[in-house]
Chains A and B, each alone.
Chain A
Amino acid sequence: MSNTGAAHAASHDHGHHDKTGTVIFGFWIFLMSDLIAFSLMIANYADAEWHGIANGPSPHELFSLGLPTIETMALLISTFTFGICTLGMKYGASMKRTVGWLVLTLALGAIFLGIELYEFHEFWTEGNTPQVSGFLTAYYSLVGLHGLHVTSGIIWGILLMVQMKTFGMNDLIKSRLVRLGLFWHMLDIVWIALFTKVYLMGVL
């Protein structure tokens, strides 16, 4: 889902006015509809965290703050490095530097993802699978949906680097990079909401 808008939108800029601006505008709108999905999942989680415990653990029993905090730091820093990447591009940094910052960003994203998967694995082996309760279902789905987004962001980034090689830094590639950036920053903002709702408030 996540890069549908991007890939299509990119694939046919045409005609008149400021096409890059238009495609980015379209992508913004797409992100807003994506945000609706996250909001619904959060609302669902907020319900399940109270009423959906069934015979499973409560958030309080399940979560600790250690790993999620490291995870969060990784993602926050990656947003910063992506910012440097796109800013640099804007002010004419070399391709090598742009790619370098992008690689760093994606690597941080991968660390984030790794920690998340590790945690899923831990919970899972303790027998706390999504099939146990409404709460666990909601937890895995909400955090997992975000994780899927990060995964597709990483794949998108890698494919984009390949395209940078073939096409060079033309307007199209720049516009795609900016869109990936928007996507990435949105995931960061969503994560802050998730971290607060799921882990911070869960542990309290």
Chain B
Amino acid sequence: MSILGSLDWNDIFIVPFFTEPSLSTGIAAGAGGVVVLGALAVMVLLTVKGWWKPLWSNWITTLDHKKIGVIYIVLALIMLIRGVLEAVVMRAQQVSPAPGFLSVEHHAELFSTHGTIMIFFVAMPFLTGVINVVMPLQIGARDMEFPFMNAVSLWLSIGGAALVMASLVVGHFETGGWTAYPPYTGIKLSPNEGVDYWIWSLGLTSVGSTLSGINFLVTIYKQRAPGMKLFDMSIFAWATLCTAILMIFAMMPLTVASLMLALDRQAGFHFFTATQGGNMMNFANMFWLFGHPEVYILILPAFGVFSEVIPTFSGKKIYGYTSLVWATIAIAVLSFTVWVHHFFTMGQTANLNAIFGIATMTIGVPTGVKVFNWMLTMWRGKLRFSTAMLFSTGFIFTFVIGGITGVMLANPTIDFATHNSLFLVAHFHNMLIPGLLFGMFAAVNFWFPLCFGFRLDEKWGRRSFWLWMIGFYGAFMPLYAIGLMGAPRRMAFFTEPAYFPWLVIAMLGALCVLAGLIAQVIQIWVSVKNRESLMVPAGDPWDGRGIEWSLGCPVPEYDFTTIPAMTSREPWVDAKEAGKRIMDPTEFVDIHLPKPTGMPFLVGLVATLFAFAMIFQMWLIAAVGFVAMWVLVLIRSYDTDWEETITAEELREGYEAHKRLVETTPQIRLDDEFTTKNRGLIMETQV
């Protein structure tokens, strides 16, 4: 076998179009072309503008948790664009006359990449990014506990995403859905590199996520501001803590299952091959031992976001803090007890199904508690419908519908009828779009000023919300209907005329979602253009409640000039009520921040090369890559000079400067919050 393993000319994205020209191969070639041209365009732009150097020194080598968070979010947005475009193509495929313009294989590749991308390369980086930016600021920490490891996680995730992008250009992705069940994904039925793309791109990100989970957990345990008890933390920090625990325990089953699949495929092992004593159900069990906690990894951070946004824009403190915390913990624990509901139909006994069905319904209880908490927080508040608040209220409304269909599916007898139908597809999109994306959109709109110093444009924000909201209903309510009429999921085309009108509505809905996404791109564009008038240098543009709002915007690299004194659950609110516009400093001391380093980037790069080599069976290159990765880690372990000091004096100057700024910023009324008068720190005393 050659050093290039199984790679050959036919794997290059445009070749199939010339050997078998069709619309399907044309679209594939076009998508590959977009990736290549996009990459080239970025490089040209960077070169022309002379941005390589700042990119390297300010971003790629950064260990600052806020910047790492921003990079995660940018990654998520780029992948979101691809995911939504794929969804639109699938929708178009199903409304065009059967058998549609895509080959069945190509359609299968689309739902597989769409699902994989949305879960692992949109949702995961998005929430990891938001946690990175916000959580340390909310607990009064200066950084993650392990900043270097944090950057390694980032670059592993980017590596995984890069592999999925590469599958558009070199070879193919798999066609077995985001769950990649064997035996279909075994070597016999899926001989090409597609499944290996799935295995290794997920391998990289899931190691990254495990490390992130460890990082978040240790940070929360060890880095809270002195005096902050666990039950003084913000709800978002609580959500992060529970998410972190889920990440630590849930990613491993995925890694194990996918490596077993790799051994079956490449080494002739028999974990899942039924003829030789393997057992496919072990895959299903392990996958969902990961998969179900995963959906709570996806949803808990968003719950945390809503629990910050809703009190702020209701002008009230969160209703029932303790019950919300316990509900979060309960959800995290229960999430490990329900995985079998993903395969009620696979032949276990009715009693087992009943137990897991009941366990599943139980999760509805703590979730219901939360919904009431949010509603009661809004009750009699003075509501202000910012973009973030719109997404939050839109979430509550929509999510409850998804919850109800979830309880329906939890009933095994109903699930037997709806398993693998579009009803299920409607259900989980109904959970994930409000319960994950809306949360992340709210987070970006809410916390954006912390990173960049200016607010996002509200007009385009509101437009994007309405387009997403209406688009969601258009795209997925019809799927409930045709799902109940019997339409299975993962079909390349339907020949049943009764489905057709519904599919057309779903198509229009998907286009509306796409328009929402475009509105968001415009929103960012317009905001960057008008940033001068959107600046909020004094910080706290929305009369916020968490201590992150006691900082100026953008937040300086060292976050806090002095670690805030935690006198209560909401010391910043107390300070404002006492008429202060800046928190009293505690003690100025010299601090150490990690120096920027290119090492995490290199580790990620080498790991990605290793994974790519594994996909195409270039064993020699893979071995070299694997060893190189560890050599890099070893080199780093010799580096003892990894910190730079910021003196107490500099911090004091930072504090004084912020104080002067705050004192000269005019006070405005809450009603002017979304106007250009808002330079931060609105000071209207509230009831």
What is the interface of chain A, defined by CB distance below 8 A to chain B? Answer: 1, 3-5, 7-12, 14-17, 22-23, 25-26, 29-30, 32-34, 36-37, 40-41, 43-44, 47-48, 51-56, 130-138, 141, 159, 163, 166-167, 172
Contact = CB atoms under 8 A, between A and B. Distances in A.
B664 to A, nearest CB: 33
A133 to B, nearest CB: 4
B249 to A, nearest CB: 6
B256 A134 contact: no
Contacts of B142: 15
Given A12-B642, A141-B263, A167-B640, 16 more contacts: A5-B214, A9-B146, A10-B637, A15-B591, A22-B218, A22-B222, A25-B218, A36-B252, A36-B253, A43-B282, A44-B271, A47-B279, A48-B279, A52-B270, A134-B271, A138-B271
B269 A130 contact: yes
Interface string B534-565: 00000000000000000000000000000000
A67 B289 CA distance: 36
Contact of A52 (B152, B263, B277, B591): B277
Contacts of A9: 146, 149
A14 B222 contact: no
Nearest to A15: B592
Nearest to A52: B277
A29 B633 contact: no
B282 A47 contact: yes
Nearest to A23: B146
Contacts of A135: 277
Cβ-closest 8 pairs across A and B: A134-B277, A52-B277, A54-B277, A36-B252, A8-B149, A12-B148, A131-B268, A137-B269
Interface in B129-146: 142-143, 145-146
A56 B217 CA distance: 45
A48 B279 CA distance: 8
Q: Which of B213, B217, B218, B640 counts the most chain A CB atoms within 10 A?
A: B218
B164 interface: no
Which residue among A30, A33, A41 has the maximum number of chain B CB atoms within 10 Å of its CB? A33
Contact of B277 (A25, A34, A48): A48
B617 interface: no
B459 interface: no
B510 interface: no
A3 to B, nearest CB: 8
B277 A22 contact: no
Nearest to B244: A29
Given A4-B211, A11-B148, A36-B249, A17 B222 contact: yes
A139 to B, nearest CB: 11
Contacts of B578: none
Interface in B144-158: 145-149, 152
B207 interface: yes
Contacts of A167: 640
B218 A14 contact: no
B221 interface: yes
20 contacts: A4-B207, A7-B633, A11-B637, A12-B146, A12-B147, A12-B594, A12-B642, A15-B592, A17-B222, A22-B145, A22-B222, A25-B218, A33-B210, A33-B214, A36-B252, A48-B277, A51-B277, A52-B279, A131-B270, A141-B269
Nearest to B255: A37
B207 A29 contact: no
Contact of B146 (A26, A130, A159): A26
Max count, chain B CB within 10 A of own CB: residue among A36, A41, A53: A36
Nearest to A129: B268
A52 B148 contact: no
A8 B208 CA distance: 13
B260 interface: yes
A44 B594 contact: no
Contacts of A133: 270, 276-277
Q: DSSP majority for the B interface? A: helix
A53 B269 contact: no
B634 interface: yes
Contacts of A130: 267-270
B656 interface: no
Contacts of B210: 33
B252 A56 contact: no
A163 B252 CA distance: 31
B501 interface: no
B521 interface: no
A29 B279 contact: no
A14 B147 contact: yes
B324 to A, nearest CB: 25
Candidate in B63, B214, B636, B640 with the most chain A CB atoms within 10 angstroms: B214
B221 A25 contact: yes
A40 to B, nearest CB: 5
Nearest to B222: A22
B27 interface: no
A60 B147 CA distance: 50
Contacts of B275: 54
Given A40-B286, A131-B270, A26 B256 contact: no
B276 A4 contact: no
Contacts of A25: 218, 221-222
Nearest to B633: A7
B256 A5 contact: no
A36 B252 CA distance: 7
A201 to B, nearest CB: 18
Given A8-B148, A36-B253, A14 B270 contact: no
B649 interface: no
A35 to B, nearest CB: 9
A106 to B, nearest CB: 17
Contacts of A166: 638
A131 B269 contact: yes
Contacts of A47: 279, 282
Nearest to B637: A7
A17 B592 CA distance: 12
B478 to A, nearest CB: 40
B642 A11 contact: yes
B174 to A, nearest CB: 22
